[in-house]
Amino acid sequence: MPIVQDIIIEPPPDGVVIDPMSWFDSPGPFELEIGCGKGGFLLSRARANPHLRLLGIEWANKFFKYAADRMSRWGLTNVRLMRTDAKFFVMQNLPPACVDVLHLYHPDPWPKKRHHKRRLVQPDFVEAAIRVIAPGGRWLVQSDHAEYFEQIEQLLGARPELVRIEWTEAEADPEPDWRGTNFEIKYAREGRTIHRAAFRRL
């Protein structure tokens, strides 16, 4: 089956604020996954929760096309995919208080110190993310990289607009057979520790 073009959303121009609900035929809570990879989590979340409206952002073209084809083959209508720079999309294109849940699982840690500036979670991105998360909304973060996760914890924990909550209180409720993101499955098999944190927007 060819990719349903409605699933793919072209990135808006710089500085143009869009309404994510305009992409869907009916309203519903809006969730954003940054770095959706091959779409394992997104697929499970969308199938189990047809009332949700989901956008997955992925920069790697190979994974982006794979995920889009995957959603199309399942005939999902509550998922959209975009290939763009997630940082600038959140900072420039999303309106305030539009995201009910922000999923950020295993962001690239850029482990070499000289590359740390390339990491997604920096003060300017945190500021923008807080702006777009609706009051009462959640931000879920997961990483296998201890040093980067500690940095994320510190940045988010220092913001008065966010309150730390238990992961079990905040985690998504996907299909019963859900086994984790591709990275989560891979790293668990390798015996790596998976670090998790959840925050609620006040």
> What amino acid positions are annotated as catalytic residues?
108
Chain length of the chain: 202
Phi, psi of 165 (to 5 degrees): -130, 165
Strand order in the sheet with 53-57: 79-82, 53-57, 30-34, 99-105, 133-143, 195-201, 162-165
Spatial separation of the C-alpha atoms in residues 139 and 161, rounded to whole Å: 12
Burial 162-186 (b: 16+ CB within 10 A, else e): beeeeeeebebebeeebebbbbbee
Q: What are the beta bridge partners of residue 81?
A: 8, 56
Spatial separation of the C-alpha atoms in residues 175 and 111, rounded to whole Å: 33
